[in-house]
Structure 1
Amino acid sequence: MYEELKYWYLRDHKLFWTLSMSQIKQLCIIVGFKKAKKGDVIYFSSSDVPRIFLLKKGNIKIVSIDDEGNETIKEILQKGDLFGELSLEQDSEVNEYAKALTDEVSICSFLLSDFEDLLVRNPSLALSYTKFVGLKMKRFKNNYSNLVTKDAKSRLSSFLKDWAQREGKFEGNKVVIENYLTQSDIAQIICTSRQTATLLLNELEEKNLIYYNRREIIIDDISKL
C-alpha cells in the first residue's frame, strides 16, 4: 500500500509524465516520503545530505537567512512545486530552510546523486526539469523586479493578486483565499515591516477592497485591487 501511494504521488506530478509505468515504479525504490505538520522545519540548505524535494500536499515557505541572521521569506510553495538543491549542486553560500505552513504537508524527495543519475538516464525528464526550473527562475526575476520598482502598497496588491490566481476560489471577480500566512509572513514576502503590512491591510479593508482574518482573505472585486 505504501509503495502504491508513492507510485501515484509520482505519477500525478507532471514532471514525470514522460516516464513509463515501469520507470515510475523504479523511482519508487529511491524516492523518500514524509509528512509534516504546521511549524515543522523540513529542509536546511546546510544539510550534509543534499536532496531535491517535491511538494505533494500543503504549503511551505522557503526562508533565507543573511549574514546578520535576518530572515526573509523567499518563496511560498504550493502543491507540485520543487525545492532543495535545484541547481543540482550544493551551494555553501546559500543559507535557507523550508517550514510547513499548513497542518497537513506531504513531501517526496530524492538524494541529489540519485536525481542526477535519473536525469542522465532520461533525457525527456531532464528537459522537463529544465523547464520547471526555468519557470521558477522567471518567477524569482519578476518578484525581484517588483521589489525594486514598486512601493510597499503596490507590492502588497501584486502579491494578493498572484496568490489569488494561484490558490483562490473565484466567483466572477470575487475571490476567496484560504489564509495560512500571518501578517509577519506577508510583511517578509513584500519586504516591509509588520507594522506597515498591518496598516496596508487595514487600509484595503477600510476601502472595502478586501476582508481579512486568520482563516481567509476575501477580495470582493479583484479588478479593483
Structure 2
Amino acid sequence: MHDELKYWYLRDHKLFWTLSMSQIKQLCITTGFKKATKGDIIYLSSSDVPRIFLLKKGNIKIVSVDENGNETIKEIIQKGDMFGEISLETDETINEYAKVLTDEVSICSFLLSDFEDLLVKNPNLALSYTKFIGFKMKRFKNNYSNLVTKDAKNRLASFLKDWAEREGIQEGNKYIINNYLTQTDIAQIICTSRQTATLLLKEFEEKTIINYSRKEIVIKDIDNLMLISIKQE
C-alpha cells in the first residue's frame, strides 16, 4: 500500500491525533496493511508474531474457543476499533480468532514490539491509548453485567439497541441496521441457543417492534424495543 494512503488512514484515527506529521510518516514505515473478504480468518491468538490490528473498513467478529472446542463471539469489531494483543502482552491461555463478517475489510497492523516502542517514545499517545483501552474494558464490563443480570429477551433487546446506536441509520426513533450477522452469531453474542434467538426475533416481529431479514433489521421505535423486553408475560 502506498505510504500516502497509510498516512491518511492513521491520521484520521483519533488515537494518533497527538502525533506530528513526521511521526505519522515514521509510523507508516512499520505499519502493515491488508484487505480481506467475508469468511477470512485474519488473526489467531496462537500466532508466533504478536500484532495489534486497527480496523479501517468493515466488520469482524472475535471468537473465543474454550477447551472443549465450543465457540462464543467475544466482540464485534467495528470501523476504528483495535484488536489483537491490545493488552500489550501475550497470554497463551487465550484461544481466539478474528473472522471477517462483511464483504470486505481493510486493516492496518503493527508488530507488538514496534507499537510498544512507539508508546514509550510518545507519552501523549500512551495516555490516549490507555483511555482507548479503558473505554473497551468498560464496554466489556457492561456486556458481562448484561449477561449476569438480564434474561435472554432483555439481552437481545439491549444488544439490538447498542448495535443500532453504534451503526444504524437513524430516522427519528426508527433505526435501520445493515445486518451482517447470522442468527447463530446473534445467539452467541447474547449467550443463548440459536432456537431461542430465532423465537425472540420472531416475537419482536409479531409485536411489530422490528422487521428482520438477512440483509437488514429495522427497529421501528427504539423506545418500544426496550419497553417490550421488560414486560411481564
RMSD: 0.6
Find the counterpart in structure 1 of residue 124 from structure 2.
124
Match in the other structure for 1:89: 89
SS in 1 for 2:52: strand
Cα distance in 2, alignment partners of residues 35 and 144 from structure 1: 32
Q: Quick check: 1:106 aligned with 2:134?
A: no
Structure 2 length normalisation: TM-score?
A: 0.96
Q: CA deviation at 1:31?
A: 0.3
Partner of 2:159: 159
CA distance in 1, matches of 2:164, 2:87: 29
Residues 205-224 of structure 1 aligned to structure 2 (within 5 Å): 205-224=205-224
Shift in Å, 1:145? 0.4
1:11 matched residue in structure 2: 11
Structure 2 stretches of 5 or more lacking a match?
Answer: 226-233
| 1:31 alignment partner in structure 2 | 31
- Give the Cα–Cα distance (whole angstroms) in 1 for the partners of residues 113 and 171 of structure 2: 45
Q: Secondary structure at the match of 2:35?
A: strand
- What are the ranges of 5 or more consecutive residues in structure 1 without an aligned counterpart? none
- Residue aligned with 1:124, SS: helix
SS, match of residue 92 in structure 1: coil
Shift of 1:59: 0.2
Return structure 1 stretches of 4+ with deviation > 4 angstroms. Answer: none
Deviation at 1:104, TM superposition (A): 1.4
Task: Give the 5 Å matches for 1:173-192.
Answer: 173-192=173-192
User: 1:174 and 1:110 mapped to 2: Cα distance?
Assistant: 39
Q: Structure 2 counterpart of 1:205, which letter?
A: E
Q: Which amino acid aligns with 1:131?
A: K
1:32 partner amino acid: G
Offset, 1:2: 1.1
Q: Residue by residue, what CA displacement relative to the aligned partner does 1:131-155 show, whole Å, maximum 9, x if unpaired?
A: 0100000000000000000000000
SS in structure 2 of the partner of residue 67 of structure 1? coil
Kindly provide the CA deviation profile for residues 36-81 of structure 1, in whole angstroms up to 9, marking residues without a partner as x.
0000001000000000000000000000000100000000011000
Displacement of 1:128 in angstroms is 0.4
Normalising by structure 1, report the TM-score: 0.99
**Which residue of structure 2 aligns with residue 46 of structure 1?**
46
**2:228 alignment counterpart:** none
Query: Which whole-Å CA distance do the structure 2 matches of 1:113 and 1:185 have between them?
Result: 33
Residue 200 of structure 1 deviates from its aligned partner by 0.2
